Copies of this chain bind each other. A is one copy, B any other.
């Protein structure tokens, strides 16, 4: 069986690293997509199982990338979600809204660092704060005119780099999760009886 290991460039060569990112590997991905766009069609996945009350658990392992099923991950990541005590949970894990904030801020950070690396822009540090406001009347079905999710999200990123704020902002806005949260995306939901 071929694994994605075969897709790694310059395994034994000198690594061209900027901001801790192997830029040759990213350029290899770009060249591979230029040769065949199917290389860039990625699919990520999760399985989730409800435990009880506010607690449920995801397992994350398989994904499709570089024109094939991944063969590099040997075991799944496990992520729990729970609810704070106020809303009848045991607070054993972050809740789903907090996972959205983590997804967004981690994606803005990674995207900024990677795009900077490819442009040979050094980034020394990134520290961020993110907040999401919601009016839970929407979620609870108490007011039809109140949206269910966050109505405002604010992110402040403190970046140490030679590049200016305008350039850094441009780089961060390549973020896929920023795209998902800020723009609409149809979600196909199918519920089946077990």
Using a CB–CB distance below 8 Å, which chain A residues touch chain B? 4-5, 7-8, 17, 19-23, 25-26, 29-30, 33-34, 37, 40-50, 52-56, 58, 60, 63, 65-66, 70, 72-73, 77, 79, 81, 83-88, 91, 93-111, 113-115, 123-142, 147-161, 164-165, 168-169, 172-194
> How many copies make up the complex?
2
Partner of A130, one of B48, B114, B176: B48
B-side contacts of A99, CB under 8 Å: 79, 99, 102-103, 106, 177
Q: Is the CB of B81 within 8 A of A102?
A: yes
11 sampled A-B residue pairs with Cβ under 8 A = A7-B86, A20-B53, A48-B128, A49-B126, A63-B98, A88-B114, A96-B103, A99-B103, A150-B185, A158-B194, A165-B191
A44 pairs with B137, CB closer than 8 A = no
- Identify A110's interface contact among B19, B54, B153, CB under 8 A: B54
Among A77, A186, A191, find the residue whose CB has the most chain B CB atoms closer than 10 A.
Answer: A191
